[in-house]
Amino acid sequence: MKGLIKDKEMKNIDSEMRQELISSEATAMSMTEEEFFAHFEKSMISNQQFFMYYRCAIMEIETKFKVLNEQFSINSERNPIEFIQSRIKSYGSLYRKMIAKDIPRTYAAMEANIYDIAGVRVVCSFIEDIYRLADCFLRQDDIRLIERKDYISEPKANGYRSLHLIVEVPIFLENEKKPVKVEVQLRTIAMDFWASLEHKLRYKKDIQPETLGMLTSELKTCADESAALDKRMQVIKNIISGEI
164 binds ligand 0O2 (CB under 6 A): yes
192 binds ligand 0O2 (CB under 6 A): no
DSSP codes joined into one string, the chain: -GGGS-HHHHHHHHHHHHHHHHHTHHHHTT--HHHHHHHHHHTHHHHHHHHHHHHHHHHHHHHHHHHHHHHHHHHHSS-SEEEEEEEEPPHHHHHHHHHHTT--SSHHHHHHH-S-SEEEEEEESSHHHHHHHHHHHHHSTT-EEEEEEETTTS--TT----EEEEEEEEEE-SS-EEEEEEEEEEEEHHHHHHHHHHHHHHT--S--HHHHHHHHHHHHHHHHHHHHHHHHHHHHHHHHTT--
CB of 94 to ligand 0O2, least distance (A): 9
198 binds ligand 0O2 (CB under 6 A): yes
CB of 198 to ligand 0O2, least distance (A): 4
String marking each residue 86-105 x if it binds ligand 0O2 according to CB under 6 A: ---x---x------------
110 binds ligand 0O2 (CB under 6 A): no
CB of 58 to ligand 0O2, least distance (A): 14
199 binds ligand 0O2 (CB under 6 A): yes
Binding-site size for ligand 0O2 (CB under 6 A) equals 11
Positions in the binding site for ligand 0O2 (CB under 6 A)? 89, 93, 116, 149, 156, 158, 160, 164, 195, 198-199
